[in-house]
Amino acid sequence: MKRAASIFLLLLIAPALFGAQSPDYDLIIRGGRIIDGAGNPWYRADLAIRGDRIAAIGELAGARARRVIDAKGMIVAPGFIDIHTHARRGIFEVPTAENYVRQGVTTVIEGNDGNSPLPLKPFFERLAASRMSVNFGSFVGHGTIRAQIIGRVNRKATPDEIEKMKEQVRIAMEQGALGLSTGLFYVPGNYATTEEVIELAKVAGRMGGIHISHMRDEASDILKSVAETIAIGEQGGLPTQITHHKIIGRNNWGRSAETLRMIAEARARGVDVSLDQYPYTASSTGLVALFPQWAQEGGQAEIIKRLSDPIIRARLKAEIVENIKLDRGGGDPKNVFIARCAWDESLEGKNLAEITRKFGRSDSIEDAAETAMEMIARGGAQAVFHAINEEDVIRIMKDPLTMIGSDGEIPLFNRGAPHPRSYGTFARVLGLYVREKRVITLEEAIRKMSSLPAQRLGLSDRGLLRPDMKADLSIFDPDRVRDLATFERPHQYAEGFGYVIVNGTVVFEEGKMTEARPGRILLGPAARR
């Protein structure tokens, strides 16, 4: 009995005498090909995680961990950062953001196109309470601020109104905004002068933020719009970004060569300008995009009044016809598809020509314009517009300043006919443009998805695989990764991703979401000070 008691006592005190044999790390990812996010060539190594950070990268054969993932044959990359989303559409209903996670995205950025939550603080508090699977950041929207201070009216802001808007930018930056977004194509942003935007941009710039813009025009006046976006950065004293850069309308195809040259020339003289894109030849926004901005002043009630006036209606119809011919309509009503229509879900997935016939008209452009006016009067719809050229998409993608952003949302699965970019953007780049078309290298694609947006947003502890960086990782099979979502069948998840890790925690593995919700609010530079 004495001998047994002695052995028992020794077992109890051994950890204190010789040190507890606890694991070295929480997680080790073994044998994968590391692509670090900086554009460097891949190399083979192990990667260890402790807590929410990368602890070591290299030969870790003797190291022990609570869990080991075998990544042989897989790419181990930084988690992707989607710099342009509208993820607040769906984040509270689907806080797992499964459509994004399944394509390797670990961070989504909201508040684009001049439209954002306001104020930001209560939105962030509600978001934090929802327990997300992904990280979440936001810009503050110029259009949202203008609507609050001035309304949806077509006039210049007064000096007093500009001061009030500047104060709103300051408050939003202190509450965590990453910068100022503009939607100068949309109402009410379209009613603002360049000078107004520059004054607000100066505030965001002084507080460490950037400016990101859906430009005033992406079709016939695109060169003027690029010049304006550059001017906002140059005179506002802050980095400026052309978001979802594209060339709309057959008559304008090929102008990406000119826009990219303008951007390069601006950088050569010291303007910090960059861009992002989604890899599709169709855009998506409200059907009201076919309407001229002057006709949208005052909102839905005023639009209906204008449509009731025969003279105004005739003028409006003529401009819609031109927009179908030369702008987002791509020359044919068949190129305009309805993604969501709250007042008649049977229209979802149908094109404007089909709907025009359903409404008892011919499918001519003139009759399609009548149908568009009728649909807007009845409440509008979200639409997909096929009016972009693949050659422009490729030319923009090749530019070293271009990062990848989906311009997507978090759809309710099998609801509506959304643009497939919400499900497939990042997988499409990796599968189609890297593996199949060889437009860019795998290392360059991952740089555009990770370190480049992280640098642009000031997220200094994300976007690269380095010791002590936050452990956001995407692990995928480069031979299998692909997007499945199509315009006809958009509700299909991407394939080829084995594991996705957010802040050191596995949120997706072997085809399934886990129960973990480690996502965090990523605050902007003024809030981090």
pLDDT digits (tens, 9 = 90+) for 255-278: 999 999 999 999 999 999 999 999
Burial of 134 per CB tally in 10 Å (0-12, 13-18, 19+): buried
Q: Report the chain's mean pLDDT, rounded to a whole number.
A: 94
> What integer pLDDT is reported at residue 128 of this predicted model?
93
Question: Cα–Cα distance between 463 and 502 in angstroms, integer?
Answer: 12
> What integer pLDDT is reported at residue 10 of this predicted model?
47
> What integer pLDDT is reported at residue 11 of this predicted model?
44
Question: Cα–Cα distance between 306 and 313 in angstroms, integer?
Answer: 6
> What integer pLDDT is reported at residue 63 of this predicted model?
94
The CA-to-CA distance between both ends of the chain, in Å, stands at: 64
Q: Who has greater pLDDT, 2 or 117? A: 117
Local confidence band at 48 (pLDDT 50, 70, 90 cut-offs):
very high
Is residue 19 predicted with pLDDT exceeding 70?
no
Question: Cα–Cα distance between 168 and 107 in angstroms, integer?
Answer: 25
Is residue 5 predicted with pLDDT exceeding 60?
no
> What integer pLDDT is reported at residue 16 of this predicted model?
45
> What integer pLDDT is reported at residue 315 of this predicted model?
96
Is residue 497 predicted with pLDDT exceeding 90?
yes
pLDDT digits (tens, 9 = 90+) for 184-243: 999 999 999 999 999 999 999 999 999 999 999 999 999 999 999 999 999 999 999 999
pLDDT digits (tens, 9 = 90+) for 125-145: 999 999 999 999 999 999 999
Is residue 18 predicted with pLDDT exceeding 50?
no
Is residue 1 predicted with pLDDT exceeding 80?
no
CB atoms inside a 10 Å sphere around CB 415 = 12
Q: With 0.85 as the threshold, say if the pTM is over it.
A: yes
pLDDT digits (tens, 9 = 90+) for 402-446: 999 999 999 999 998 999 999 999 999 999 999 999 999 999 999
> What integer pLDDT is reported at residue 6 of this predicted model?
53
DSSP letters spanning 205-273: HHTT-EEEEE-S-SSTTHHHHHHHHHHHHHHHTS-EEETT---BSGGGTTTHHHHHHHHHHHHHTT--E
- Classify each residue of 97-129 as buried b or exposed e, where b means 16 or more C-beta atoms within 10 Å of its C-beta: bbbbbbbbbbbbbbbbbbbbbbebeebbeebee
Is residue 84 predicted with pLDDT exceeding 60?
yes
Domain coordinates in residue numbering, the chain: 78-281+388-460+471-528, 285-386
Average pLDDT over residues 22-27: 92
Q: In what order do the strands lie in the sheet with 336-340?
A: 282-286, 382-386, 336-340
Burial of 359 per CB tally in 10 Å (0-12, 13-18, 19+): middle
Local confidence band at 3 (pLDDT 50, 70, 90 cut-offs):
low
Nearest CA among 136, 127, 119 for reference residue 171: 119
In the three-class reduction of DSSP (H, G, I as helix; E, B as strand; rest coil), residue 191 is classed as helix
> What integer pLDDT is reported at residue 529 of this predicted model?
67
> What integer pLDDT is reported at residue 528 of this predicted model?
74
Residue type, 176: G
Residue type, 471: A
Average pLDDT over residues 439-464: 98
Local confidence band at 14 (pLDDT 50, 70, 90 cut-offs):
very low
Q: How far is CA 383 from CA 83, 263, 286, 339, in A?
A: 22, 30, 6, 5
> What integer pLDDT is reported at residue 363 of this predicted model?
83
Domain covering 78-281+388-460+471-528 in this structure, CATH number: 3.20.20.140
pLDDT above 70: percentage of residues in the chain: 96
Question: Cα–Cα distance between 277 and 269 in angstroms, integer?
Answer: 24
> What integer pLDDT is reported at residue 22 of this predicted model?
82
